[in-house]
Amino acid sequence: MTAETVAKATGVKVTTTPKAGAVFASDRPNHTGVVLHVLANGDLIVANQNAGTSKDYEITLVPKKDYAKDSQAVGYGDMTFAYPGDN
């Protein structure tokens, strides 16, 4: 599930501003997850996985500079967010 899929199903907007509880998608195909916490400096703690055969997930610290628009960070660049509670 991607941020765009959640947004379409719930009627919320896709944004580039993270919020705890938001679903995210990144520039890497099938890479998705949930924002667990936004730190005071803008870094994120996320639960994420790659859709497909793997059922494993991981908890990751994502620096703000890595998820920003036009970031070249592998797996986290150009992240978008959809928060179902915003409908």
pLDDT in tens, 2-17: 677 777 887 888 888 9
Quote the pLDDT of residue 32: 80
Quote the pLDDT of residue 40: 97
Collect all residues with Cβ–Cβ distance below 8 Å to 71 and sequence separation of at least 6. Answer: 65, 77, 78
Quote the pLDDT of residue 61: 92
Helix (H) or strand (E) holding 4: helix 3-10
* Paired residues of 58 in beta bridges: 48
Could you tell me how many helices (H) and strands (E) the chain has, helices first? Answer: 2, 5
Q: Are 25 and 79 in contact (CB under 8 A)?
A: yes
For the entire predicted model, the pTM comes to 0.81
CA distance 67 to 81: 11
Quote the pLDDT of residue 74: 64
Low-confidence ranges of the chain (pLDDT < 50): none
Q: Are 3 and 24 in contact (CB under 8 A)?
A: yes
Quote the pLDDT of residue 39: 97
Quote the pLDDT of residue 41: 96
